[in-house]
Amino acid sequence: MSGRCVIIGAAPIKNFRKIRTFLRSDDFVIVCDGGLNHIRKLKVRPNLIIGDFDSHKNPHSKIETIVLPHEKDDTDSVFALKTALNRGFRDFLFIGMLGARFDHALGNLYMLLKCQNEGVKALMLDDYSELLLVGSEEVKISDEYAYFSLLNISGKAGGITIKDALYNLENAIIPQEYQFGVSNEVLHGKKASVSVKEGCLLLVKVWK
């Protein structure tokens, strides 16, 4: 499939105005169960609804709907991602995935790592920031962001280089047990660059 797939989860959202700026008219939108509570404020119409409907009533609409059992290995969000991958989508935006229950938030966060392993593009939003994974391909960060953080969530992250930031690194390692890459800043008027030779890092770009 060409185009981007947006997957909307049930986690709380407050910053609807900001998140709407990331949406496109040609997005393919999958809404997971309680994510149906967000569609009016996000101003989107689902193309596909997925869920076991334990947090929202099944709308029984004409929109394609996949009803899942309550007892299953995949969360609704993970099932939605797998469904979209099977349908050929290679670009993802995740909304309503972080916040409320920590176990769900952490599980959803690791969908970024699945996308990385599948070789597809993925971005996750919360009320404060953009989250994506950085690997060997250099990523630029403009000074429009208040802060950025780099976190090792995969267990392997070496050869880390950061340039044009308040705290720079050259061929460094950030171990999982010592996450010292939190709250860096881009130098005013510059674009910071980040790359990772071995493994990957979670990049969190915090909005001003």
Tens digit of each residue's pLDDT (9 = 90 or more) over 70-101: 888 999 999 999 999 999 999 999 999 998 88
CA distances from 191 to 6, 107, 137, 141, 180 (A): 28, 31, 15, 5, 21
The reported pTM is: 0.95
CATH number at residue 52: 3.40.50.10240
Residues 80 and 118 in one domain: yes
Per-residue pLDDT tens over the stretch 48-57: 999 988 888 8
- Average confidence score pLDDT of the chain: 95
64: burial class by Cβ within 10 Å (0-12, 13-18, 19+)? exposed
pLDDT of residue 156: 87
Task: Write down the pLDDT at residue 84.
Answer: 98
Task: Tell me the sheet residues that pair with 91.
Answer: 121
Question: Looking at this protein, which amino acid is placed at residue 60?
Answer: H
Given a contact cutoff of 8 angstroms between Cβ atoms, the answer to whether 63 and 46 are in contact is yes
Could you report the per-residue pLDDT of 116-159, keeping only the tens digit for each?
999 999 999 999 999 999 998 999 999 999 999 999 999 989 99
Are 140 and 106 in the same domain? no
Residue 163 and residue 123 share a domain: no
Domain range for 167 is 134-207
Do residue 111 and residue 154 come from a single domain? Answer: no
Q: Are 74 and 82 in contact (CB under 8 A)?
A: yes
pLDDT of residue 36: 96
Q: Which residues pair with 160 in a beta bridge?
A: 172, 196
Comparing C-alpha atoms, which of 142, 164, 133 is closest to residue 208? 142
The total number of structural domains that make up the chain? 2
Q: Give yes or no: residues 21 and 86 share one domain.
A: yes
CATH number of the structural domain spanning residue 170: 2.60.120.320
Asked if residue 86 and residue 164 are part of one domain, the reply reads no
Domain boundary among 111, 127, 143: 127
